[in-house]
């Protein structure tokens, strides 16, 4: 499990690093993989905590969040801690990580089916000659 420091910021263990690396090898962007694993191991968090916990820079986290919002994998809300200043965005997974993996599996299966269909068509062309 992700290690929690005294400041309640989560940091990756070796197992989470491996999980993120596997997602990356599967075809998910490296930064998205890290943020996804981070969010899978916390109920909700801020982008600043994600930056610290994943060792990513603010623009990298921001781009990953934008991509995951478009995929409808995460949701956000704003929270004010003080009467002044900007509200803080709080992020959490919109789907359980298992459902996200199911979605990834369906996409890869459809992709493989299309490739197999193209191979079948290639073989038909070869047989006609």
Q: Could you list the pLDDT tens digit for every one of the 129 residues in the chain?
A: 444 444 566 678 889 999 999 999 999 999 999 999 999 999 999 999 999 999 999 999 999 999 999 999 999 998 887 777 788 889 999 999 999 999 999 999 999 999 999 999 999 999 888
Instruction: Specify the 3-state DSSP secondary structure of 106.
Output: helix
Q: Which CATH class is domain 3-95?
A: mainly alpha
Predicted local confidence at residue 3, as pLDDT? 47
Question: What residues have CB less than 8 Å from 9, skipping those under 6 apart?
Answer: 49, 52, 53
pTM summary value: 0.81
Contact at 8 Å (CB) between 98 and 117? no
Predicted local confidence at residue 81, as pLDDT? 73
């Amino acid at each position: 499990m992700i290690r929690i420091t005294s400041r309640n910021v989560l940091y990756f263990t070796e197992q989470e690093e491996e999980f993120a690396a596997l997602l990356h090898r599967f075809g998910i962007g490296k930064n998205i993989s890290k943020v996804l694993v981070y969010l899978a191991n916390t109920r909700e968090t801020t982008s600043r905590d994600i930056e610290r916990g994943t060792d990513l820079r603010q623009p990298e986290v921001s781009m990953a969040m934008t991509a995951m919002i478009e995929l409808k994998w995460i949701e956000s809300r704003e929270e004010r801690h003080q009467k002044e200043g900007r509200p803080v965005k709080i992020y959490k997974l919109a789907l359980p990580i298992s459902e996200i993996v199911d979605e990834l599996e369906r996409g890869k299966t459809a992709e493989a089916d299309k490739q197999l269909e193209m191979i079948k068509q290639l073989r038909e062309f070869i047989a006609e000659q």
